[in-house]
Structure 1
């Protein structure tokens, strides 16, 4: 059967994303031909600014090489724009004289820069900023000339100005209004931005109206309405774009500001679709990439004859691609009647946050200086989430709402699969996570290669790293020597060393001694500092409960619906009828929605409200239970088999050993979660060889294992040693935990820690140095006296009465 012919007019990002989506859905449905006006294959137009600034090359921003087109059977005609569409005969004609029939036609003709209609606009040296040819011309001008004027203080104008300055030119930005990026920023944020750019050497003429561009053979100056002028060897117009609809209009397609399309991206001609900056949908034209990629998915859905995709418009967000400037804007950032505003402003630190709320929903946001929660705010806006329950901590970001497992990485871990991570390439979280798990990706470079996320402007690199960490758990280690957080240039190891060497015993002392940029720290550094202080000076440091995540403060795991789950500890998985009755009574009393047996041989009570937590814990502790720490950076579980007491293969009493280990170690704080297991024979039914600390019974005693992980990337343990007695098992376990606690980085599991320091080092500290081992074990036992304390004797009062005070004050 002969394939239908699909012709794409426009080899840009929107059109080619539609083709990519179509190939995923129905790769063999069409014979595809692409016409492009430029002489290049498909490239990432929004990365022209890094090319102009010299941070990237043309080759680095190519999205699809010529070989890619060949591999997918696509005919590509570059440098040959279509000049005529014969809708009656269904034929397109190109500038070179090619004629090609079509069954389906896709228009993606994009836009062109608007040139201010003033005298001299046609002089050599006056140009727009839209494609590779413009960038090449600007770079060439920078090599031969010194003075540049950029007309337009919007997003594109500022990126052009920064790029030209990086090329060595003296740059003046001319803007008609009194604030920069007025379509994306309010006045306080715009003032911070202008001050930052001025400190980098850019000059600004605000409220300046261009009257003429003057020169003889080439541009020499820009003159303004008030009679003043500035010298100019190069003038870049960046005052906006216009949809490129000339071809569609000549073909008789219905156009207003753009080519009018419906929710399926279909024009008034049922054979012709249109997409991208050239279209008008529900009265709106879009000039940003994210909406175009959303349109592409819908258009591909219909070209593939699936027929259910609908495009209903987009909420847009903005990021400025200027190195060192963090800026995010989305939605109705100005507010207005019926809106409320939540503000945070610290001009000294260069931080400004503004959230606009309407009807208990986030309506807009402006972030400057600290944009880590921009993607989350954007998702709340797009989904119309009711934020009334989040309002108290909303401004301070997602990390203050709960622990998704990785501290500063909670934002990415809690993102929904359809949340867009990479705006440059339109890559969502779900695509990245699927690539990580299905293709075995473990590094940032792997993700860049397979998904293109973080491969462009780099502004989403942090989020991608967080996704690696939240997906792989202990299998992902952040790159070495990175600062602990944005508040400091010190690394984890340097901060830890300073705490020991300077005998710092409080977070405030650390912040002062190390000249922290933020006087109170942030959600990334405070939990780490709290842990480092506790591990260094357990008898002198007061555990700061407010520097712990909500799960650790409340001693329960927050669930996706906002309720909590409670897991009482069942030592070694061995329970009794009395314990089971107590759990059943609590489940009845508090109307627990789900009671589940966990993989760690415990019972999970799900669906509790935050207000119920102190009461159910009071009842459970009265019945003799302590917390299972399923929420904590602490010992989680000690998994056991029945061992020699019941099993015909068992050679040691593994259940008893597991209970003793759990009684020894519960309540201990650790850099990350810590899991153990005890198997009663080498058949290893308790899976001890994929745990942080594993014990396998042998005829002569016990074989000890360390550094295992059962996550996405399974890591088998390293054998530590063999011992003969249960007391030795406990001593070696406590010593191993203590050296891990004292030396690993916060949020570093034992698997990457052992790989980083080497098993030989661990053996030297725990096995070969007997004196050192006993000293480690002694310190561990001393710290446990502080960790295993009954909170009901030390409960918080007043404002903190609704929460437990800290992990140290945990049920006993």
Structure 2
């Protein structure tokens, strides 16, 4: 048992204040206190008693903690400083066990007595446990608090099987988290439709199919008969039809009940919940109650959104300006990555109700809205929930929708154009049309008006809005709405934090790269599904980026998507202004020979190329090649042993060299030979952007190594290695990375640096802006702080090269260079050679 922890207030003068005692340190109790403090911060001396030995956290975000998407620190709502700053005494881990209404005191489990002038009960709800044989076995857990999550995580460490009893909101989120933790999960649900309180049969079917596609076993219509166990621990679940499912842990998620034991023992009026009036006052005028433990006008609420409305009404009453709570219309979203689901209102239909349904099987989208008496009364959205806030606003207000009836199912943008449809040109216009009291953030109960007011008061970035009013600070599903409000309110004055990868997602480049690894995502459609892409197929910005990130993350496992590349990479040539292409065969280190020159001359004559030009990277560029001739051009060059110079690619372009010590009287090392070795080692390597290397044989720097992405300057004692340079419009000289003594060391550091760049940089970010963003010291630290890091990164680079360099081309080149053949004999094919190319039609 955890010992109670007390954070006493350091405030002064509290003896003159009314004493407000709160039973419950959860979301309802603390939110009510926040609302009171916002109205009259000097009215009450507040003491909060919590059963859990921790500060207030966002209970509805336990699912992402279980799934590994967030930590406990990420979901803390009120840290210790909040209690201290507001003069609140927190007693955690010591729950109240009795209320003395006559003496107006409460007593805790440890025997502590606290007097009150006003008492607030916010005890929440208790999980319902099916009273079947075995329900009390070790290994049977509920899903209500952080301790439950810790028990599930401990079980998941050993792998094995899990059975979740209950296919409602919490049950499916628990199943999702355990599946991500590596367990084989079976969901047993009594009803024939998952989440039957929130979904109709069609949406329930789509949800079931998607979960089964992810590897979960979904059993609907399953009635639990017994929980099996041996040696004092759960081993499985048996259904009444005789089926059995193995289980190392069983999660009971079949429902909740208002936690009323304390109130009932104190003699308060209790039915299903603690009975309260419109001001959240119980049958005792000195005692208020709020949250899942209460019953208001005959209704008990098990979702978070009504809680915020209750707290506002309670706070108004507590400071003497009563408003009154009239009940809530609720909506639901499932917090399972990659599944977009929204439900609100009454979708049961019935007499006088009209169903409007849209199905898009190819995209996995299902929408159903229910209209009765020209009012929207219910909505179910699966696969595309962008209009959820708009539907919910219409539903709560009961507005007449007859004028937009024909366009209603297509969403707000079309409805705004009237029955004739017509999408809005401005994607933010739909958000602008929402009323000020429309809910933006359901997790924290924040309206559009509150977000706009927060922005107008100085919150000029997404992070600022999150910290000041909490909108978008929890599950993040409303991030797009908040960003639209920022744009509408501030225009060009919005302070951008890390930019999202593109307009199809709110995730940054770093987020996407991290989640690809964490979630084991290995296909572009899978990434888009899991990370809530707002477009069905992505765009020209995100598809090439995702293709690269997957190539980098899973070399040898991910199959390169040629149609997700830019046109130059698809064609293996640079498109020119007249629609023809230029072809650049590779010349290792700038060296060539009669066979290669003869092959180039033959290609120029055969295909009537109007121009051949020496490039800045010491190669020959053949201009004016027609699109339809490209496969044949490459076949002819391949026959001479020449491979692509990748002059078109986000990849290694060239390794420029000078003649070095072999010919130059100033040369200190064999720069040409080293350049050839480095090019052979690195060619074909796909990268975030184009990558250029140069090796200069002496500090005179004839190869211009100090304006390249990676530059080697040979000196008498070894090799200076420079990074992060580029020419072009904005010239940037390199930074000195380090100095090494041997060619092997230079090549090892080069491959390690390239791999670090490949793994850390954003797509289309060259080394110069990458180093300026992260800092040179960060790069040095990542490479050199641990002695084995360079070798580890270099090994990863060599591994990836096995799948990036093209074997058939190498075989043709073998005749001209035995050493190159030996190097290439160790690599596997990468599907970019001529025979496997997919040319655009």
Report the TM-score range of the alignment, normalised by the length of the smaller protein: 0.5 to 0.7
- What residue in structure 2 maps to residue 25 of structure 1? 39
**CA separation of 1:362/1:145 partners in 2, compared to 1, >3 Å: closer, same or farther?**
same
Q: Secondary structure at the match of 2:317?
A: helix
Q: Secondary structure at the match of 1:254?
A: coil
- What residue in structure 2 maps to residue 349 of structure 1? 363
How much has 1:267 moved relative to structure 2? 0.4
> Among 417, 422, 434, which residue is 2:441 paired with?
422
- What residue in structure 1 maps to residue 208 of structure 2? 194
Alignment of 1:232-271 (within 5 A): 232-271=247-286
> Among 537, 560, 563, which residue is 1:488 paired with?
537
Report the TM-score when normalising by structure 1. 0.60
Q: Secondary structure at the match of 2:486?
A: helix
How much has 1:272 moved relative to structure 2? 0.4
**Aligned counterparts of 2:208 and 2:542: Cα–Cα separation in 1:** 37
- What residue in structure 1 maps to residue 752 of structure 2? none
**Aligned counterparts of 2:298 and 2:386: Cα–Cα separation in 1:** 32
- What residue in structure 2 maps to residue 508 of structure 1? none
**CA separation of 1:75/1:427 partners in 2, compared to 1, >3 Å: closer, same or farther?**
same
Q: Secondary structure at the match of 2:157?
A: helix
Deviation per residue, 1:459-508 (Å, 9 max, x gap): 1111111111221223348835414550332246999xxxxxxxxxxxxx
How much has 1:334 moved relative to structure 2? 2.0
**CA separation of 1:98/1:272 partners in 2, compared to 1, >3 Å: closer, same or farther?**
same
In structure 2, stretches of 5+ residues that fail to align are: 1-14, 418-422, 505-533, 545-561, 565-576, 578-768, 770-841
> Among 105, 112, 126, which residue is 2:140 paired with?
126
**CA separation of 1:95/1:494 partners in 2, compared to 1, >3 Å: closer, same or farther?**
closer
> Among 72, 82, 106, which residue is 1:92 paired with?
106
1:220 aligns with 2:269: no
How much has 1:185 moved relative to structure 2? 0.3
**CA separation of 1:225/1:274 partners in 2, compared to 1, >3 Å: closer, same or farther?**
same
Larger radius of gyration: 2
- What residue in structure 1 maps to residue 489 of structure 2? 471
- What residue in structure 2 maps to residue 306 of structure 1? 321
1:411 aligns with 2:430: yes
Q: Secondary structure at the match of 1:68?
A: helix
Q: Contact 2:159–2:182 at 8 Å: present in 1 too?
A: no
**Aligned counterparts of 1:201 and 1:46: Cα–Cα separation in 2:** 24
- What residue in structure 1 maps to residue 182 of structure 2? 168
Q: Secondary structure at the match of 2:348?
A: coil
**Mean Cα deviation higher: 113-122 or 480-489:** 480-489
Q: Secondary structure at the match of 1:235?
A: strand
- What residue in structure 2 maps to residue 444 of structure 1? 462
1:296 aligns with 2:311: yes
Deviation per residue, 1:257-293 (Å, 9 max, x gap): 0000011111010000000000000110001111011
Q: Contact 1:399–1:407 at 8 Å: present in 2 too?
A: no
**Aligned counterparts of 2:424 and 2:215: Cα–Cα separation in 1:** 42
- What residue in structure 2 maps to residue 545 of structure 1? none
> Among 146, 169, 172, which residue is 2:160 paired with?
146
Q: Contact 1:483–1:491 at 8 Å: present in 2 too?
A: no
Q: Contact 1:221–1:231 at 8 Å: present in 2 too?
A: yes
**Aligned counterparts of 2:541 and 2:436: Cα–Cα separation in 1:** 31
> Among 436, 450, 469, which residue is 1:431 paired with?
450
- What residue in structure 1 maps to residue 684 of structure 2? none
**Aligned counterparts of 1:112 and 1:161: Cα–Cα separation in 2:** 20
**CA separation of 1:406/1:471 partners in 2, compared to 1, >3 Å: closer, same or farther?**
farther
**Aligned counterparts of 1:62 and 1:127: Cα–Cα separation in 2:** 23
- What residue in structure 2 maps to residue 559 of structure 1? none
How much has 1:442 moved relative to structure 2? 2.8
Q: Secondary structure at the match of 1:8?
A: strand
**Mean Cα deviation higher: 133-142 or 476-485:** 476-485
How much has 1:145 moved relative to structure 2? 3.9
- What residue in structure 1 maps to residue 705 of structure 2? none
**CA separation of 1:30/1:480 partners in 2, compared to 1, >3 Å: closer, same or farther?**
closer
**Aligned counterparts of 2:91 and 2:495: Cα–Cα separation in 1:** 45
How much has 1:449 moved relative to structure 2? 1.8
How much has 1:396 moved relative to structure 2? 1.1
Q: Contact 1:405–1:470 at 8 Å: present in 2 too?
A: no
**CA separation of 1:254/1:493 partners in 2, compared to 1, >3 Å: closer, same or farther?**
closer
**CA separation of 1:366/1:165 partners in 2, compared to 1, >3 Å: closer, same or farther?**
same
Alignment of 1:534-545 (within 5 A): none
Deviation per residue, 1:274-321 (Å, 9 max, x gap): 0000000011000111101100000000001112x1111111000000
Alignment of 1:455-534 (within 5 A): 455-476=473-494, 479=499, 481-483=501-503, 486-491=535-540
**CA separation of 1:93/1:65 partners in 2, compared to 1, >3 Å: closer, same or farther?**
same
How much has 1:443 moved relative to structure 2? 2.3
Deviation per residue, 1:738-757 (Å, 9 max, x gap): xxxxxxxxxxxxxxxxxx9x
Deviation per residue, 1:720-769 (Å, 9 max, x gap): xxxxxxxxxxxxxxxxxxxxxxxxxxxxxxxxxxxx9xxxxxxxxxxxxx
Alignment of 1:48-59 (within 5 A): 48-59=62-73
Q: Contact 2:57–2:76 at 8 Å: present in 1 too?
A: yes
Aligned length: 499
Q: Secondary structure at the match of 2:241?
A: coil
Deviation per residue, 1:633-685 (Å, 9 max, x gap): xxxxxxxxxxxxxxxxxxxxxxxxxxxxxxxxxxxxxxxxxxxxxxxxxxxxx
**Aligned counterparts of 1:21 and 1:405: Cα–Cα separation in 2:** 38
**Aligned counterparts of 1:26 and 1:480: Cα–Cα separation in 2:** 40
**CA separation of 1:429/1:377 partners in 2, compared to 1, >3 Å: closer, same or farther?**
same
Deviation per residue, 1:48-92 (Å, 9 max, x gap): 000000000001100001111010000000001000000001010
How much has 1:333 moved relative to structure 2? 1.3
**Aligned counterparts of 1:254 and 1:301: Cα–Cα separation in 2:** 23
Q: Contact 1:53–1:162 at 8 Å: present in 2 too?
A: yes
- What residue in structure 2 maps to residue 390 of structure 1? 404
Q: Secondary structure at the match of 2:188?
A: strand
Deviation per residue, 1:395-415 (Å, 9 max, x gap): 111112448987222222111
How much has 1:446 moved relative to structure 2? 2.0
**Aligned counterparts of 1:63 and 1:256: Cα–Cα separation in 2:** 31
How much has 1:514 moved relative to structure 2? 8.2
**Aligned counterparts of 1:136 and 1:493: Cα–Cα separation in 2:** 37
Q: Secondary structure at the match of 1:14?
A: helix
Higher RCO (C-alpha under 8 Å, 6+ residues apart): 1
Q: Contact 1:192–1:347 at 8 Å: present in 2 too?
A: no
**CA separation of 1:233/1:452 partners in 2, compared to 1, >3 Å: closer, same or farther?**
same
How much has 1:251 moved relative to structure 2? 0.2
> Among 251, 257, 272, which residue is 2:287 paired with?
272
Q: Contact 1:53–1:164 at 8 Å: present in 2 too?
A: yes
Q: Secondary structure at the match of 1:408?
A: coil
Deviation per residue, 1:318-367 (Å, 9 max, x gap): 00000111100000112111100111011221000000001000000000
Q: Contact 1:469–1:477 at 8 Å: present in 2 too?
A: no
**CA separation of 1:483/1:418 partners in 2, compared to 1, >3 Å: closer, same or farther?**
closer
Q: Contact 2:235–2:246 at 8 Å: present in 1 too?
A: yes
How much has 1:144 moved relative to structure 2? 2.1
Q: Contact 1:344–1:352 at 8 Å: present in 2 too?
A: yes
Q: Secondary structure at the match of 2:148?
A: helix
**Aligned counterparts of 1:251 and 1:387: Cα–Cα separation in 2:** 48
**Mean Cα deviation higher: 476-485 or 98-107:** 476-485
1:65 aligns with 2:65: no
How much has 1:253 moved relative to structure 2? 0.2
